[in-house]
Amino acid sequence: MASMFSSSKFSDSLTVVGVSLCSAVICEAISWILIYRTSSYKSLRSSIDKASRKLESMKTTTDSLKLTTKKSKTKKMDRVETSLKESSRDLFFFKFKSGAVVAIVLIVVFGLLNSLFEGKPVAKLPFTPIWIVKSMSHRGLQGSDLTDCSMAFLYFLCSISIRTNLQKFLGFAPPRGAANPGLFPMPDQKTS
Amino acid sequence: MKESKSGNPKSSLKQLQNNENASPFTYSKLLDPEADWDKDQLGDVLHWIRQVVGLFCGLFCGAVPLVGGIWVLAFLALSSGIIYGYYSLILKVDEEDFGGHGALLQEGLFASLTLFLLCWILAYSLAHF
């Protein structure tokens, strides 16, 4: 079976998958060293989990309360929500700074693969890609056969599927309660 | 009316308190409609179910082979149907306690779609060319 795959016209796809898997493991190792093992990350994650659970329980009990109690409960909820947003923002910036190293590794790996497989289809698509996908799936390839798959698209699929599941498996996935504040977080109207 | 574990705010609160004290994960919980689920536990289980479905569907589609973009839609429908059937009919959880149908159905959706595409493309390319 191994010889059947190695003699296949598109055996280079296995090289792309293998390199992608290795780079995902290396990136997660770097992330663990720079981010996940630090006490700052652990305390931020813990506070986000606690705040989101507290907010959920407060939302559930608010509906059945009297009006005066409801108002003070709503104020408490706003405070918890603000605290959750601040912790999420801190977590985002904390990971963003350390993530620059991971980004450099990914760029280097992509450049290496690009130099190896530029202009060469590494796989065959079993479907005709739509216009959004076509620009990536046919990137750098000659000819008009849109079912030829470039390294970029295969690497993209590998990155998303392998890294996401690896993070999930290792327990490094972001907490569900954390909202992504983006690079330009808006000030909280309730505290101003 | 759909049979549900919680039908009013008081029972929702009780469910939430159960979630906070939810029992640690064991494989026996996977088929137990009486088990108490933590939001994170249930989300993780649904995520991994989707990944397994994506893996097998991708390999199957590539091996046969099934060709055409319609199979992407078929996969999305099939995997979502499996997830819905699992938490609704087997586990019998009240989706309101876990963020609604949308939150449960989107667990692992994008990752499973990319995994499906990856397996489909690889199996198709390696087995038929």
Per-residue pLDDT tens over the stretch A144-165: 899 999 999 999 999 999 999 9
Specify the pLDDT at position A43.
87
* Residues B82 and B58 placed together within one structural domain of the fold: yes
* Residues B1 and B55 placed together within one structural domain of the fold: no
Which residue, A164, A26, A161, is CA-closest to A105? A26
Q: Please check the confidence at residue B24 and state whether its pLDDT lies above 80.
A: no
Distance, in Å, from the CA atom of A125 to the CA atom of B121, rounded to the nearest integer, reads: 6
* Residues B20 and B36 placed together within one structural domain of the fold: no
Distance, in Å, from the CA atom of A141 to the CA atom of A150, rounded to the nearest integer, reads: 7
- Residues (pLDDT < 50) of chain A are 181-192
> What average pLDDT does the segment B34-52 reach?
90
Q: From B9, which residue of chain A is nearest by alpha-carbon distance?
A: A60
Specify the pLDDT at position B123.
96
Specify the pLDDT at position B37.
83
* Residues B101 and B120 placed together within one structural domain of the fold: yes
Are A168 and B10 inside 8 Å of each other by CB? no
Domain count, chain B: 2
Contact list in A for residue B14 (CB cut-off 8 A) is: none
> A9, A61, A66, A127: best mutation site toward chain B, by most B Cβ within 10 Å?
A127
Specify the pLDDT at position B12.
47
* Residues B48 and B11 placed together within one structural domain of the fold: no
Q: Which two tokens stand for residue B34?
A: 């009486």
Specify the pLDDT at position A177.
61
* Residues B7 and B49 placed together within one structural domain of the fold: no
Considering only A175-189, B24-38, B60-74, B77-91, which range has the smallest mean pLDDT? Answer: A175-189
The residues pairing with A149 across neighbouring beta strands, listed in sequence order, are A123
> What average pLDDT does the segment B53-62 reach?
97
Distance, in Å, from the CA atom of B86 to the CA atom of B84, rounded to the nearest integer, reads: 5
Buried b (16+ CB within 10 A) or exposed e, B34-60: ebbbbbbbbbbbbbbbbbebbbebbbe
pLDDT band at B79 (very low <50, low <70, confident <90, very high): very high
* H-type alpha helices, chain A: 2-6, 12-31, 39-62, 67-117, 131-137, 151-170
- Rounded to a whole number of angstroms, the distance from the CA of A39 to the nearest CA of chain B is 22
Are A13 and B125 inside 8 Å of each other by CB? yes
Are B16 and A161 inside 8 Å of each other by CB? no
Q: What residue numbers bound the domain in which B70 lies?
A: 32-128
Give the domain ranges of chain A.
Answer: 13-170
> A60, A134, A163: best mutation site toward chain B, by most B Cβ within 10 Å?
A60
If you search the block for the tokens 């493991």, which residue do you land on?
Answer: A25
* Residues B21 and B41 placed together within one structural domain of the fold: no
Cβ proximity of B104 and B87 under 8 Å: yes
* Residues B114 and B77 placed together within one structural domain of the fold: yes
Q: What is the DSSP string of B107-123?
A: TTHHHHHHHHHHHHHHH
Specify the pLDDT at position B109.
95
Is any Cβ of chain A less than 8 angstroms from the Cβ of B9? yes
Nearest to A8 among B44, B66, B126 (CB): B126
Could you give the 3-state DSSP secondary structure of residue A7? coil
Instruction: Say whether the ipTM exceeds 0.90.
Output: no
> What average pLDDT does the segment B88-97 reach?
89
